[in-house]
Amino acid sequence: MDNNYQPISPSSLVNILTLRYDPSIIPNLPIKNFKDFESRSQAPNIDLIEKSICNNIEQKLKSFDGKKVCIALSGGVDSTLVLSLLRKIRPDIEIDALSIKFANSVDETQAASKISDTFNTNHTIIELENYLSELPKAISMIKLPFWDLHWYYVAKKAQTISKLLLSGDGGDELFGGYTFRYKKFFSLTTSNSSPLEKTKAYLECHERDRVLDQQDIFSKKSNFSWNLIYEQLIPFFDNNLSNLEQVFLADYNGKLLYNFNPVNSRIIDSFNMTLLTPILNNELISSAPHISIEHKYSSETNVGKLPLRSVLKKNGHDHLVSSEKLGFNVNTINLWKSHGHSICKDFLTDSRVVKDGWINNNWIQKHIDSPELDVKYVNKFLGILAFEIWYRLFITKEMSSNSTLD
């Protein structure tokens, strides 16, 4: 295992266990400010959006000499769009679509199989009985304490097929895809809400990330402070943008920049592969944030990513995707009941991060054996588990990256 890693500061730990991202990570994508999200009145040019994605795919394929490519296929708008355009510009290339079937979770692979058949691809379903099993290996690759690393399993399979993996990453952040949060944010804010009130509402809308006793998770060494969390987010809500434009700004400068993109890139690099995210091309990163809200998101139907859906419709494929957001989603409660609880008990009963003053053992003991633990608390426990594993890999160095959690 490569021990060349950046030590985690107290603020990084707090951010990862509170926001699920760490702004101290150097992003691969450009940071945006409020001026980058100021709306332009004209409707987006659907042809140019399609051309931008196609050009990005074509440029990469020109330098790729393999006979096969892989694509991560969830069955949602973004991955379906990328697959459809890949097939449109390269009808001859062999494509392997990869989907994940999580145990005891909603099975979205049937929809993905239909999409795969439509575009004449090989469809591989990766079945995961214990999503946490290879967490030490995944953490050893990214060198960060994150637990939700489905990309590890996608890349692990993809590298046996091809050196190039495509994904639909970026559609949610550039085109307004987190619709399950928007209505709640509207209900919690008004046009007169202060930046701090909107910041608190934004955090409340991240229902998987927020627990009422969040501050009690940490020991003094972690230096937790809600005010420090608010200070990071307030600039996104202290400007002349509309409320929802501010949410788009915060979403872009959050998990995409400081979790999803850098984490996925590190995993791909560890497997000696190339990752292609055609929606996150320079043209769209520059132009898409300026598309006005009404051209991205319908508040009446609560449907987002309207320009990407229009590209699908233009090509006759809009019927393949639903109006609901899809993704690679494990049922966290069922994961907790089948594997998570026992694994956390094993690791956190004699926790190194508790002994060394980072995490409060009283919080762990208060909640870990709750018979009907809320999903928010499950997410917190899995986050602490990831920190514990990271700590044993890189700090105490008592754990092997090849260890499995069974």
Tell me the pLDDT tens digit for each residue of 32-48: 999 999 998 789 999 99
Whether residue 313 sits in one domain with residue 227: no
By CB atoms closer than 10 A (0-12, 13-18, 19+), residue 249 is buried
Whether residue 261 sits in one domain with residue 160: yes
Each residue's pLDDT tens digit in the chain (406 positions)? 555 566 789 999 999 999 999 999 999 999 999 999 999 878 999 999 999 999 999 999 999 988 899 999 999 999 999 999 999 999 999 999 999 999 888 777 889 999 999 999 999 999 999 999 999 999 999 999 999 999 999 999 999 999 999 999 999 999 999 999 999 999 999 999 999 999 999 999 987 788 999 999 999 999 999 999 999 999 999 999 999 999 999 999 999 999 999 999 999 999 999 999 999 999 999 999 999 999 999 999 999 999 999 999 999 999 999 866 555 678 999 999 999 999 999 999 999 999 999 999 999 999 999 999 999 999 999 999 999 999 999 999 999 999 999 8
Is residue 52 in some structural domain? yes
What local confidence, expressed as pLDDT, does residue 67 receive? Answer: 87
Whether residue 286 sits in one domain with residue 159: yes
What local confidence, expressed as pLDDT, does residue 194 receive? Answer: 98
Cβ neighbours around 97 below 10 Å, total? 26
Is residue 334 in some structural domain? no
For residue 204 the two structure tokens come to: 């409340």
Whether residue 290 sits in one domain with residue 145: yes
**How far is 115 from 124, CA to CA, in rounded Å?**
12
Is residue 55 in some structural domain? yes
pTM, two decimals, is 0.95
Whether residue 284 sits in one domain with residue 166: yes
What percent of the chain stands above pLDDT 70? 97
Identify the domain boundary among 276, 305, 320. Answer: 320
Identify the domain boundary among 320, 336, 364. Answer: 320
Helix (H, G, I), strand (E, B) or coil at 381: helix
Whether residue 153 sits in one domain with residue 262: yes
Is residue 220 in some structural domain? yes
Cβ neighbours around 355 below 10 Å, total? 12
Whether residue 157 sits in one domain with residue 58: yes
Non-local CB neighbours of 159 within 8 Å, separated by 6+ positions: 271, 272, 273
Question: Which domain range does residue 214 map to?
Answer: 179-251
Q: DSSP states of 281-350 as a string?
A: -HHHHHHGGGB-GGGT-BTTTTB--HHHHHHHHHTT-GGGS-SS-------HHHHIIIIIHHHHHHHHTT
Whether residue 110 sits in one domain with residue 49: yes
* CATH number, residue 121: 3.40.50.620
Count of H-run helices and E-run strands, the chain = 19, 5
**How far is 312 from 77, CA to CA, in rounded Å?**
8
What local confidence, expressed as pLDDT, does residue 107 receive? Answer: 78
Count of the separate structural domains present in the chain: 2
What local confidence, expressed as pLDDT, does residue 3 receive? Answer: 52
Is residue 261 in some structural domain? yes
